[in-house]
Amino acid sequence: MDNMDLQVLRQVQQWLDADQRVVLGTITRTWGSAPRPVGSVVAVRGDGTITGSVSGGCIEDDLIAKIREGALTLQRPELIRYGVGAEAAQRFGLPCGGTLELMLEPIGPQSAIAALLERLTRGERVLRTLDLATSVVTLAEPPAHSRDGADRLVLDAHRLITHHGPQWRLLIIGAGQLSQYLAQMALALDYQVEVCDPRDDYPWTLIAAPLTRDMPDDVVQRLQPDGHTAVVALTHDPKLDDLALMEALRSPAFYVGAIGSRVNQAKRRARLQEHFDLTEAQLARLHGPVGLHIGARTPPEIALSILAHMTAERYGVQISSAAPSSGAEVGCVL
Residue-wise DSSP of 244-266 = HHHHHHTS--SEEEE-S-HHHHH
The burial of 198, by beta-carbon neighbours within 10 Å (0-12 exposed, 13-18 middle, 19 or more buried), is given as middle
pLDDT band at 220 (very low <50, low <70, confident <90, very high): very high
18 or 2, which is more confident: 18
pLDDT on residue 3: 59
pTM confidence score: 0.63
Q: Is the pLDDT of residue 145 over 50?
A: no
190-284-230 Cα angle (round to 5)? 15
Q: Is the dihedral of CA 12, 14, 16, 21 positive or negative?
A: negative
Q: Determine contact, residues 290/306, Cβ cutoff 8 Å.
A: yes
Which of 187, 229, 167, 228 has its CA nearest to residue 1? Answer: 167
Q: Is the pLDDT of residue 334 over 50?
A: no
Q: Is the pLDDT of residue 47 over 50?
A: yes
The neighbouring-strand residues paired with 140 are 127
243-263 per-position pLDDT tens digit: 999 999 999 999 999 998 889
229-241 per-position pLDDT tens digit: 999 999 989 899 9
Question: Secondary structure of the chain: what % helix, strand, coil (to 5)?
Answer: 35, 20, 45
Q: Determine contact, residues 133/110, Cβ cutoff 8 Å.
A: no
92 or 219, which is more confident: 219
pLDDT band at 53 (very low <50, low <70, confident <90, very high): confident
Q: Determine contact, residues 81/93, Cβ cutoff 8 Å.
A: no
Give the integer Cα–Cα distance in Å for 22 and 72. Answer: 10
Domains by residue range for the chain, with CATH: 3-164 (no CATH), 168-314 (3.40.50.720)
137 or 88, which is more confident: 137
Q: Is the pLDDT of residue 25 over 80?
A: yes
Q: Is the pLDDT of residue 228 over 90?
A: no
pLDDT on residue 273: 85
pLDDT on residue 15: 96
pLDDT on residue 215: 95
Mean pLDDT, rounded, for 283-291: 92
Q: Determine contact, residues 289/261, Cβ cutoff 8 Å.
A: yes
pLDDT on residue 332: 46
Mean pLDDT, rounded, for 161-167: 83
pLDDT on residue 2: 53
Least confident of 147-151, 199-203, 223-227: 147-151
pLDDT band at 181 (very low <50, low <70, confident <90, very high): very high
Give the integer Cα–Cα distance in Å for 164 and 146. Answer: 12
152-304-37 Cα angle (round to 5)? 25
Mean pLDDT, rounded, for 35-45: 86
Compute the mean pLDDT over every residue in the chain, rounded to the nearest whole number: 85
pLDDT band at 142 (very low <50, low <70, confident <90, very high): confident
Calculate the alpha carbon distances from 83 to 16, 19, 91, 96, 119 in Å: 31, 33, 8, 8, 35
pLDDT on residue 84: 54
Q: Is the pLDDT of residue 327 over 70?
A: no
